[in-house]
Structure 1
Amino acid sequence: MISTCFSPRSRTKAILALLTVVLLALGSPAVYASEFPPTDGEMQGFTLLKERVAAPTVPFKTGEGDEIDLTAFQGKVLIVNFWATWCAPCIKEMPSLDRLKAAFADEEFDVVAINQDRGGKRVAEPFLRDKLGLENLAIYLDEKFTLGRAFKNRGLPATYAIDRQGNVVGGMFGPAEWDSEDAKKLVRFLLAEKAGG
C-alpha cells in the first residue's frame, strides 16, 4: 500500500480535482476552486461552507442599546467577530480587525465586532476605546450569548464572513491577522462577487 503525504494546499487541490471528476461522471456541474474565496496563508484556518446558508437573524444590541440583527447590514460584505475582554486571543486580534475596517472604509463592507461580556457596554466600550485605543469598530453586544449560540460558537474568538445577500460563507475559530494580505484577498473576492451570486 502506497501512502502519500499532502501539504494542506496540495491536499485541497487533490480533493477538488477528485470532486470535479466525480461530479462530471455523475453529470452534475463541476465545482471549481475559482468559485470559492481564497483561504491561503493567514486564512488557512478559515473553513468555507460547501453551500452558503443564511446567517442567523437573532437580535443583538448596538452600543446605544438598540436591538438589531444582521439583516440590517444586507448589501454589505461582513466580517462578524465574537470577542470578550477576558479573551487574550481576542484582544490580540482586535487591532487588526480595526485596521481591516479602515482599509475598506470606502467599500460596501463592515466589521461587526460583537462583544460577549456579561457587563455589556459598561465593560466593552472603555476596553475598546481607552485600553486598546480603537476608533473604527462600532460597539455591538450579545451579553446573553444568544447570537453566539445561534452561530454554534465553540469558543472565542469566532469570526465569520457573510456575503452581500446575508449568507455565511465560512468561519474561523481562533485569532488571525485580519488586516493581512491573505484576509484582504478573502474580502476582495466577496466584494467582487456579482449581486445574487
Structure 2
Amino acid sequence: MAEATEPAPNPASPRRGRKRAALGAVAGLGIVAVVYGVAVPGKGGAAACPAAAGTTARLDPLVRGEVAALGLAQPARAEPEISFRTPEGQPTTLAAFRGKALLVNLWATWCVPCRKEMPALNALQRQQGGGDFQVVAVNVDTARLDRPAAFLKENGITDLALYADPSADVLQSLKAQGGLLGLPTTLLIDRNGCELGRMAGPADWASPDGQAVIRALKG
C-alpha cells in the first residue's frame, strides 16, 4: 500500500503532529488500494463563507484525539456541488439539506475502514440526528448494488438512510473541487451550506471527541 503524503511538517505545530500521527494510524490498517491524502478545504477558488468564522473558531480547539485528522477550512467555503440519489432513488444535492448541519460521509462496501466506521456514524445519527443535524452517508459502490443495503441490515445500521451514487461521479467532483484521495472521506457542512472541514480516513465519530465537534458544528 502506498503511504499517505503531506506537506513538510512545521515542528512548531502540534496540530500538524497530531494529524500526521492519525494518518499514520490509517496507513497501518493495511488496506489495499486505498490511499489517503491530506485534503485542503478552503482553497481552489471556491466562494468563502465569512459568516462561518465563528463556528470554525469553536471547532478548532476540539480537533483532537479521535478526530485529530480533521482539516478545518481556512476560510470556510461554499459546500461542494455534488449529486447523488435519495433512498427512494431520486436525484438530490447537498443544497436540499440546507438548514441542517451535516456530516457527509462517502463510503463503499469494499472499503474496510468504511465498514468499520459505519457503526460509529450510525450511533452519532441516533444520538444527535434531528432537525438541526444529519449524517448523510453516500455509498459509492458501482457494482452489485444490492450489497450496500444488505450490509446495513446485516450490521444493524438502522439509523442511517442509504444515499448512493452508483456512478461514483461524486468522487471525481470532490477531487476537482477541493481534494479527495481514497475512502472514507468526511465533510462537515454548517446549516448555511458552508464546508467547515474535511477528513481523509476513518474516525470514531461517536466518541466524546467526535460528539464534541458535532455539538459545536450545530451551534
CA contact (8 A) 1:120 1:141 kept: no
Question: Which structure has the bigger radius of gyration?
Answer: 1
Displacement of 1:5: 4.9
SS at match of 2:124: helix
Cα pair distance change 1:148/1:120, threshold 3 Å: farther
Q: Which of the numbers 187, 191, 212 marks the counterpart of 1:160?
A: 187
* 2:143 is the alignment partner of 1:119: yes
SS at match of 1:151: helix
**1:18 matched residue in structure 2:** none
Supply the RMSD in Å over aligned alpha carbons: 2.4
Q: Which of the numbers 82, 86, 109 marks the counterpart of 1:85?
A: 109
Q: Which of the numbers 150, 153, 165 marks the counterpart of 1:142?
A: 165
The unaligned stretches of length 5 or more in structure 1 are 13-30, 193-197
Where in structure 1 do 4 or more consecutive aligned residues deviate above 2 Å?
Answer: 4-7, 9-12, 31-34
TM-score by length of 2: 0.71
The unaligned stretches of length 5 or more in structure 2 are 1-9, 19-52
CA contact (8 A) 2:56 2:72 kept: no
**1:102 matched residue in structure 2:** 126
TM-score by length of 1: 0.78
CA contact (8 A) 1:116 1:141 kept: yes
CA contact (8 A) 2:129 2:135 kept: no
Query: What one-letter code is carried by the residue in structure 1 that aligns with 2:152?
Result: L
Distance 1:146 1:72 in 2: 18
Distance 2:112 2:187 in 1: 19
Alignment of structure 1 residues 69-80 onto 2, 5 Å: 69-80=93-104
Alignment of structure 1 residues 154-193 onto 2, 5 Å: 154-192=181-219
CA contact (8 A) 1:157 1:173 kept: yes
